[in-house]
Structure 1
Amino acid sequence: MKRIVWLCSCVLLLFSSCATLNVTHPGLGRVKKYDFAHKDVPASFNGFTIAFISDLHYKSKFTEKRLRGLVKTINKLHPDLLLMGGDYQEGCQFVNELCACLSEIKTPYGTLGVMGNNDYERCYDDIVNGMRTHGIRILEHELDTVRKENSRIIIAGVRNPFDLQANGVSPSTNLSPDDFVILLTHTPDYAEQVPIPNSDLVLAGHTHGGQVTLFGLYAPVIPSAYGQRFRSGLRHTTAGIPVIITNGIGTSRKSVRLFAPSEVVLIRLIALQ
């Protein structure tokens, strides 16, 4: 009996220590940083930083206090650009408050986003109008060009990636292979299900990193047709295109996270010359 009690205590201690291992920001699990080197990154964009967030699901476990903490955290990181991957709300009554608060994130090159499945199901017009009012652009199978000195990078935003009949041609299709192109989509599955020519990096959310995982190694439930393959982190499509999948910020269904900490992704571009 004593051995069983001792074992249970060790397991509880392990869960406790692992659950707080990456908690370095109030109300936020972690900032996950990537250095991304590519031959198409222009020299003038060497060191350019992009903050990426997704799946706020405001308000869920992601409360008003945590929203304020998120804004403060991102502003302290001083990114050049903020990109957002959708699923912004858990109720239309929260949209104006969310958009106003997100507008307090200040970056030299602004904020761009795409919509998630929750956003197509409800509050679509509220979100688009709210974001526009506060200077945030939503890309619906559209491109945005970020210019620095005499060079550029391109952000290609995917409209409803679950409707492949309508959106099965990637917005990156007609771009130049020489451009550095970031494809922004709510779900990573899109990058595998649809040809995405000329895309150099894909940013996606939707999976929540599994939201509840076994020691961060396996998620019993994950909203992807590819199981654990695109759960979280840096992965690659069959065609070899890199995909960064964020755990996201908020929660859905159950207001709990276990070994899938909420996160801000910070990407530093490196030019290979």
Structure 2
Amino acid sequence: MAITLSIVIVIILFCNFQNKHLETTHYTYAAEQLGADLEGYRIVQISDLHNAKFGKNNQKLVDRIRECEPDMIVLTGDLVDSNNTNVDRAVQFVDEIVKICPVYYVTGNHEYWLEASEYDELMSGLTRAGAVILDDQVVEISRGDAKFRLVGLDDKSIADGTLGTLLNNAQNVAHEDSEKKEFTVVLAHEPQYLARYAGIGVDLVLSGHAHGGQFRLPFVGGIVAPDQGFLPEYTAGEYYMNGTEMIVSRGLGNSVVPVRLFNYPEIVCVELVGKH
């Protein structure tokens, strides 16, 4: 019994470490169109939190985000979990990170699996906290004389023509430099539509949804991901297609499968630099 109990304790501690050991992954994105005033601009991406807790009131997670010294924080969906929903915890987390810098949010599939009352409570709570809900919206981000376009896709709009329409409309209302292609960052929860994003010619896509493949094995990578099945193609890291780069976050929380394996929760930090 003592041996069995020891084994059980070790397994519990191991699983807890796999689920709670935060990692920050740093990327550098070089853009030809980036103005000098945006040199070194940092975007921190938080994806697939699924109501997970990292310390009391998520303070450990908040502190790690602050350490990145971001200029912007983007939340790319599944902030809550539809199977174990805690709207207050999600809003409280956003209440803290808006104190660091501007926060932009797009929905994931779990937000649309909520009860209508929970969904409304979440959206109103995020708005009160000061986050910008960017579902099917385009905003211009500027610092000094430089700017770029930030596009958010509602999770229901990922697989249709919404992205192209949003960018065409933004281009039509642009001022005199409309002939010049503006650097564009897209927030889209699901990565399996890379061909669609690349077909429209966006520069950088920040995505999540795949949970890093849940279990990651050497020389194999992720084992299973939502909407991609076994041995999924897009689970974590950088992917390229026709001039478009997509960065996929491993996410932070779990949903149906409660344990990660060799797949630590991830904060993504992207630094923009000019291509010379």
TM-score calculated relative to the size of structure 2: 0.80
Looking at structure 2, the residues matched to 148 and 159 of structure 1 have their Cα atoms a distance apart, in angstroms, of 26
Does residue 221 (structure 1) correspond to residue 224 (structure 2)? The answer is: yes
1:137 is the counterpart of 2:132: yes
SS of the equivalent of 1:247 reads coil
Instruction: Report the CA distance between 1:39 and its aligned residue.
Output: 0.1
- Do structure 1's residue 187 and structure 2's residue 182 form an aligned pair? no
Matched, 1:210 2:213: yes
8 Å Cα contact 2:208/2:248 also seen in 1:
yes
Q: Percent identity of the aligned residues?
A: 26
Choose from 222, 235, 256 the match for 1:253.
256
Cα shift at 1:214: 1.9
- 1:8-54 C-alpha deviation (Å, 9 max, x unpaired): xxxx9xxx8xx97xx9xx94431000011110111110011110010
- Cα 1:219–1:166, aligned 2, differ >3 Å: closer, same or farther? same
- Bigger fraction of residues in strand: 2
Q: CA deviation at 1:271?
A: 1.1
Change in 2 beyond 3 A, CA 1:191/1:124: farther
Contact 2:20 2:264 in 1 (8 A): no
Summarize deviations over 1:230-264 as a string: whole Å, max 9, x none: 11100113x23100000001011121111111110
Question: Is contact 1:189–1:225 with CA below 8 Å preserved after alignment?
Answer: yes
Count of aligned pairs: 250
Q: CA–CA distance in 1 between the matches of 2:150 and 2:193? A: 16
- Which shows bigger deviation, 253-262 or 120-129? 120-129
Q: In structure 1, the residue corresponding to 2:224 is in which secondary structure?
A: coil
Q: Which residue number in structure 1 is paired with residue 267 of structure 2?
A: 264
Structure 1 CA distance for aligned equivalents of residues 256 and 136 of structure 2: 28
- Segments of 5+ residues of structure 2 without an aligned counterpart are 1-9, 172-177
Structure 1 range deviating more: 261-270 or 175-184? 175-184
1:1-273 matches, within 5 Å, as: 27-59=20-52, 62=53, 65=56, 67-91=58-82, 94-106=86-98, 109-122=101-114, 123-161=118-156, 164-165=159-160, 167=162, 169=164, 171-174=166-169, 175=171, 178-193=181-196, 197-215=200-218, 217-225=220-228, 227-237=231-241, 239-273=242-276
Q: Which moved more, 1:256-265 or 1:219-228?
A: 219-228
The alignment partner of 1:189 has SS state of: helix
Rounded to whole Å, the distance in 1 between the matches of 2:219 and 2:90 is: 29
Counterpart amino acid of 2:127?
Answer: R
Matched position secondary structure for 1:248:
coil
What SS does the aligned partner of 2:80 have?
coil
Deviations 1:153-186 (A, max 9, x none): 1110011256635746463344355211101000
Structure 1 residue ranges, 4+ long, deviating more than 6 angstroms after superposition: none
> What value does the CA root-mean-square deviation take over the aligned residues?
2.8
Comparing both structures, which one devotes a greater share of its residues to helix? Answer: 2
Do 1:232 and 1:245's aligned partners in 2 also have CA atoms closer than 8 Å? Answer: yes
